[in-house]
């Protein structure tokens, strides 16, 4: 019963099998392996973007910050939600890789920016000319850090605001597959057709051992990305092991099937929690993350039985009255089973 994060899950057998297959013989390094050409062609086909530049890195942070460093100069700012991953969980890496660009934080329910909030933040920036930080780029997290999902129309509305100020748009898609499955949109509709310039296409949270793709829909920035990836220490020598994971991930829509499993598990968990006395969802479950509150006694039963998840916020404690509600974040993965969900719910019932 492990709901701490989807990146705690095992690796699907299809990925491990692909790594075994690619481990025979020799292959050219640094992304010149034959599998990378296959990955590039497949992603271009899936996203209906024949001219897109495609690169692989090992971590989501690397994907985000290398992409943003190509979009935002040091004297500018990146507009993002206050709870965006680039703000809360990347240890200043966006500022480091951009050479000092700041983040302008925007509020919004369930970690979602609104067009009005984004417009107000952009309009307020740079009003003092050379004395102020300048307008740089917009970053959208989909699915959000609170488990919500922007539809393709939602993304287009935010991109329209960015375009009005001539700003490029980056999408942090660490859980892009979960958002896509939830929304019913196509990859193209959710990204470049809506106005997104660069996508961090997540793999690790959806089952991969460790690889993310950066998809640059306007290849004008491709060479700069290659240089920044190398200079930043993120160009893998034995690149075929990244390529093999991504190729297997894309084959037969495995990436969408894995995300659908995780989303279904989260939906089952949400329905179960809603049925418990004294329990409630803190916001709708639209992807694979559940935010909920239930009595402290249920938390005690679950933790004593070895269930893993996070209090949300994390400063809550098991000490105190049994009936007091404590809030938590639970994340389902491709490997979460119905039995795990049902067993966890039994613990909460006591």
pLDDT number for residue 40: 98
Q: Report all structural domains of the chain as residue ranges with CATH numbers, in order of start.
A: 11-254 (3.40.640.10), 256-349 (3.90.1150.10)
Tokens coding 215: 């998809």
Token pair in block for residue 344 = 């966890």
- Give the whole-angstrom CA distance, residue 317 versus residue 130: 48
- Regions of the chain short of the pLDDT cut 50: none
Quote the pLDDT of residue 28. 97
State residue 99's pLDDT score. 97
pLDDT value of position 286:
97
Q: What is the pLDDT of residues 114-165, one digit of tens each?
A: 999 999 999 999 888 898 999 999 999 999 999 999 999 999 999 999 999 9
Can you count the helices (H) and strands (E) in the chain? 14, 11
pTM: 0.96
pLDDT at 128: 83
Contacts of 110 (CB under 8 A, 6+ apart): 144, 146, 147, 148, 283, 284
Q: Can you give the pLDDT at residue 29?
A: 97
């Amino acid at each position: 019963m492990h709901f701490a994060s989807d990146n705690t899950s095992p690796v699907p057998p299809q990925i491990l099998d692909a790594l075994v297959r690619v481990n025979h013989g020799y292959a050219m390094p640094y992304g010149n392996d034959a599998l990378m050409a296959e990955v590039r062609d497949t992603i271009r086909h899936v996203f209906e973007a024949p001219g897109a530049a495609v690169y692989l890195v090992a971590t989501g942070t690397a994907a985000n910050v290398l992409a943003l460093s190509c979009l935002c100069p040091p004297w500018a700012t990146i507009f993002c939600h206050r709870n965006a991953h680039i703000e809360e969980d990347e240890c200043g890496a966006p500022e480091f890789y951009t050479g000092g660009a700041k983040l302008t934080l925007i509020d919004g329910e369930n970690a979602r920016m609104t067009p009005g909030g984004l417009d107000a933040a952009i309009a307020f920036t740079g009003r003092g000319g050379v004395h102020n930080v300048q307008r740089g780029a917009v970053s959208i997290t989909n699915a959000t850090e609170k488990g919500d999902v922007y539809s393709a129309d939602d993304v287009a509305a935010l991109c329209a605001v960015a375009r009005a100020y001539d700003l490029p748009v980056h999408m942090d898609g660490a859980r892009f597959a979960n958002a896509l499955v939830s929304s019913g949109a196509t990859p193209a509709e959710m990204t470049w057709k809506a106005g997104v310039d660069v996508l961090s296409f997540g793999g690790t949270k959806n089952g991969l051992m460790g690889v993310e793709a950066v998809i640059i829909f306007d290849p004008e920035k491709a060479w700069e990305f290659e240089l920044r990836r190398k200079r930043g220490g993120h160009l893998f020598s034995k690149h075929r092991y990244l390529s093999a994971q991504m190729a297997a991930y894309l084959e037969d829509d495995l990436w969408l099937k894995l995300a659908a499993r995780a989303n279904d598990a989260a939906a089952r968990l949400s329905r179960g929690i809603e049925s418990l006395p004294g329990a409630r969802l803190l916001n709708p479950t639209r992807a694979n993350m559940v935010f909920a509150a239930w009595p402290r006694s249920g938390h005690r039963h679950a933790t004593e039985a070895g269930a893993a998840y996070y209090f949300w916020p994390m400063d809550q404690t098991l000490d105190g009255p049994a009936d007091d509600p404590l809030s938590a974040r639970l994340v389902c993965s491709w490997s979460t089973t119905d039995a795990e969900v049902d067993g966890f719910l039994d613990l909460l019932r006591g």
